[in-house]
Amino acid sequence: MAKQPAPKQKVEKLLYRRQEVAFALGLSVRSIDAMISDQRLSTRRFGKCIMIPAADVRRVCDEILRCDMLQGVAPSRT
C-alpha cells in the first residue's frame, strides 16, 4: 500500500525581514529603520540579515490601528 503524502500545513513565520515588515504595514523601509532605532521594533541578526519578530510586527500594527481609531481615520478596504 502506497504512503499518503502528509497534508501541507501552513507554518506561521516567526521572523520577518525589514522589507517584509514595511510591505505588511504599508510603510517605507526607512520608517521601519526609524522604528528600530527608536526601539519600537526589536531585531535579531543572522549574518547580514536583520530580522524582526512577528510579535513586534503585530504590536506595532495594533498601535497604528489604535492611533487611527483615536484620530477617527477609517481603516482602508484594499
- 3-53 pLDDT, tens digit per residue, is 777 778 888 899 999 999 999 999 999 999 999 999 999 999 999 999 999
Identify whether the C-beta of residue 9 lies closer than 8 Å to the C-beta of residue 24. no
Q: Which CATH number fits domain 15-70: 1.10.3470, 1.10.150, 1.10.1660, 1.10.540?
A: 1.10.1660
For the question of whether the overall pTM of this predicted structure is more than 0.75, the answer is: no
Do the strands 49-53 and 15-17 form a parallel or antiparallel pair, or are they unpaired?
antiparallel
Q: Under 8 Å CB-to-CB from 41, ≥6 apart: which residues?
A: 21, 32, 35, 52, 56, 57, 60
pLDDT score, position 5: 72
> In the predicted model, is pLDDT for residue 1 greater than 70?
no
At 62, list the grid cell: 495594533
The count of C-alpha atoms lying within 13 angstroms of the C-alpha of 65, restricted to the half-sphere facing its C-beta, is: 9
For the chain, the structural domain boundaries read: 15-70
